[in-house]
Amino acid sequence: MIMLLALPVLLAVARAHRYLLVYAPSNVLIRQVQRSRPTLRACATLVVLAAGLLVAMKAVACAVAAGAPGWLNLVVLVLAWDAIKMAWVAIAVLIGCFPGRALASSPLIDS
The alpha carbon of 24 is separated from its chain's Cα centroid by a whole number of angstroms, namely 10
With 0-12 / 13-18 / 19 or more C-beta atoms within 10 angstroms meaning exposed / middle / buried, residue 15 is exposed
**DSSP conformational letter for 92:** H
**pLDDT score for 40:** 94
How does pLDDT run across 60-88, given as a tens digit for each residue? 999 999 999 999 999 999 999 999 999 99
**pLDDT score for 106:** 53
Residues with Cβ within 8 Å of residue 110, at least 6 apart in sequence: none
For the chain, the domains span: 2-98
Counting as low any pLDDT under 50, the low residues of the chain are: 111
**pLDDT score for 98:** 86
pTM of the model: 0.78
Instruction: Determine which helix (DSSP H) or strand (DSSP E) holds 89, and give its type and residue range.
Output: helix 72-97
* Beta carbons of 89 and 47 less than 8 angstroms apart: no
CA angle, 53 then 63 then 27, to 5°: 25
